[in-house]
Each structure stands twice: as C-alpha cells, then as structure tokens.
Amino acid sequence: MNLDSKDEGQNRLDTLEARCRLCEQLLQQSIREQQKINAELRCLYSLDEIEKRRRPLARMLQEIVDRIPSAWQYPEITCARISYESLSVQTSNFVQSEWSQKVDIRALDERLGAVEVYYTELRPTIDEGPFLARERRLLESLAARIGDLGERERDQTRHRAQIARLLAEHESERRSVSRDLHDALGQLLAGLRMESCLLRSKLEGAIPDSLEALEIARREEAIIEQLQGAVRNLMSFLQPTIVVEKGLAAALESLIRDYQRYRDIQFESVVELEDDLLDESRAIALYRIIQECLTNIVRHSKASRVCIRCAREGAALILEIFDNGIGYDSASQSVVDGRGLPGIRERVKLLNGSISITSAVARGTGVHIEVPISNASRRSMGL
C-alpha cells in the first residue's frame, strides 16, 4: 500500500471518529434533554398526588416548592419560594439573587401571590438569562395550578364556615325546643301526675265499687310516668346539658347506657377522657358525632355487639366504633348518603379532624376518628 492510500485511510478513520464523537455528543444531549423533560413532567404530576392527599394548604404549598428545584436545569443551585396571601413557604436553601424567574399567582383576575425561582450561582445565558424558555412556561403552569388549588381551598373554607354556622343555629334551635318542652309539656305532665296521684289516694279510701276506677287511675299514673321519661329523653337528645354539667366522659357513658337500655345490643366501651379536654362547643360537637354513629348502628346495622373506645393519645382525641352488623358496600354512594355519613364527615372536618370508615357486606363497620385537642386547633374552630 502506497503512502497516499495510507493517508486516505487515516483521513477516513479520523472522519469516522469525529462523526462518532458528534453522534455521542448528540446522544448525550438528547438524553439530558429527555431527563429534563421527565423532571418537568414529574413536577407537574406530583401536583395531582399532593392535591389528592387533602392536607392543609400550607403543607401542600411546602411540598410543591420542595419539588421545584428538581425540574430546573441546574437543581443543585436552584431554590424557590411560594407566597400565597398570608402564607409563605420556601426551600431550605432559599436565598434571593439577581438570577431569577417569577410568575404571579392569580385567581379571578386577582393577584394572590407569586412563585419565584432563583439560581444561587451564575450560569451561561440561554433563553431568559441562565433559564430556559420552557422553564418559564413550567413556572406559569405551576402558578396557575396553585391559583386553582387556593381557590378551591377558599371555597372549602367558606363552605365549612357556612356548615358551622348552620350547625350552631341548629344547636340553638334544639336548645329552644328543649326549653319549650320543659316549660310547657313538662309542667303539664307534672300537674297531671299530681292530679292522678290525688285521685288514686281518694279512691283507695272509697267504697269497694271503686276498685275498677282505682285500677284505671294506677294505669294512668304509669302512662304519665312513661311520658315524663320520654320527654326527659327527648330533652336530653335535643340539648345534652350533661356534657356541660358533668363533662364529655360522663355524657358518653350515659349516652351508651341509654342506647343499651332500649336495644338488644351488647355495648363494650372504654372512655378515658379528662373533664377539661375540650371546650364546650367542641365537646358537644363530638357528642353529636358519637350520637349519630350510634343512631346509624341501631337503625341500619342489625348488630348484636358494638365496641366503643374514646381516649386521648398525645395531642389527639381518638374515637373508634366497631360493630359486627351487616355492613355495606362502601362504593355505593346511595348507601353512604342514606346512612348520614356525609353529615358525620362534615362535623369531623369542622373539628379539624380526620375520619376513616371501613365496611364490607356481612363483615360489619368500623369508624376511626382523630380530633386535635391543642389550644391552636381550638381557636381555629371558631365555634
């Protein structure tokens, strides 16, 4: 092989190697580009996961801001901050710098806050300083989603406030009806019983022909006594004064005894609560929740055994109610609505608590409720 042929072969080899290097560079660039796109998509998809968990808005915003750096071109030098109305959350490495992107959070043409991204070090200029143009679009998408999230939170807050107001009005109306029962029907029954007792005492000393009338008077007296008991039970249902007078623990024990007295159901209960654990409004709200749960069991479950546990665990009050009844298909919305469960859930939300209900056909139902008992959560109720 002559010298020219060797040179030509070497040139071809050099050209091939150069093309291979170029292809490798393009491949690496393509891989980095795909990784960048995947990181942006993960950031957007994570918003759906965060929303599904239904946590307080401040916590959701913190989870969102912590995911932002991974979606930017240089995550190791990226920090971020989200401000929304009175809330402000940021990454642990947050520092403001001259290299930034910022997009306002808006809802119904009202500015509610902003999403900000900063680089802590200078990087080469690309589309928008050291930032990519599509990073701006990603930031705009995040701001729009946060605006929607905040607006939904506003709607839920307004809804909870309306429900709390309606429940307060309902409780006030119950107290009014209870007072009317006590003042009117209670006094009439008391007077009627006195008259019946007087009649019986006179008949007992009368002639033998009055024996039948005496028996009638005794039956009337028994009926009046039953009516008085029914009125007392109704007044207790309408206005649980026992909660205020003796505390939540005593009220729950009395409530459970009342249900067990008139139903063929075995109740097993463990109630371990301090008297001053909850303020009056929250104690009555929890009493109503348990009352509704037991009413559901009596009406629908066909259970023979019910287990109730109500106790403090750390900064939370735990309520657990289990029955061995017929259960139901938890996927059936008509059954759920028909058993008053939405109302129970609303009451728990108003206490800033959480509730989980498990049930299956022929396998009974379990209710687990956790309610915070810290001073901060008491003030946040506003009941």
Query: Could you tell me what percent of the chain has a pLDDT over 90?
Result: 16
- Residue 186 to residues 242, 304, 324, Cα–Cα distance (Å): 18, 34, 38
Is it the case that residue 378 has pLDDT exceeding 50?
Answer: no
Q: How confident is the model at residue 156 (pLDDT cuts 50, 70, 90)?
A: low
Whether residue 269 sits in one domain with residue 151: no
119's CB contacts (< 8 A; 6+ apart) are: 74, 77, 78, 97, 99, 100, 130, 131
Whether residue 148 sits in one domain with residue 29: yes
Of 155, 184, 212, the one marking the end of a domain is 155
Is it the case that residue 376 has pLDDT exceeding 50?
Answer: no
Cα–Cα nearest to 231, from 289, 190, 195: 190
249 in any annotated domain: no
61 in any annotated domain: yes
Cα–Cα nearest to 51, from 151, 160, 137: 151
Could you tell me how many helices (H) and strands (E) the chain has, helices first?
Answer: 11, 9
78 in any annotated domain: yes
Whole-angstrom Cα distance, residue 367 to residue 10? 80
Q: Helix, strand or coil for residue 324?
A: coil
136's CB contacts (< 8 A; 6+ apart) are: 101, 103, 127, 128
CATH number of the domain encompassing residue 285: 3.30.565.10
123 in any annotated domain: yes
Of 131, 155, 179, the one marking the end of a domain is 155
Tens of pLDDT, residues 187-229: 666 666 676 676 666 666 555 456 666 666 677 777 767 666 6
Which residue range forms the structural domain that includes residue 77?
A: 24-155
Whether residue 31 sits in one domain with residue 148: yes
236 in any annotated domain: no
- Residue type, position 58, single letter: A
Is it the case that residue 280 has pLDDT exceeding 90?
Answer: no
116 in any annotated domain: yes
Of 120, 155, 190, the one marking the end of a domain is 155
88 in any annotated domain: yes
Count up the domains in the chain and report the number: 2
CATH number of the domain encompassing residue 139: 3.30.450.40
Tens of pLDDT, residues 320-346: 999 999 988 876 655 555 566 787 888
354 in any annotated domain: yes
Tens of pLDDT, residues 132-151: 888 888 888 888 888 888 77
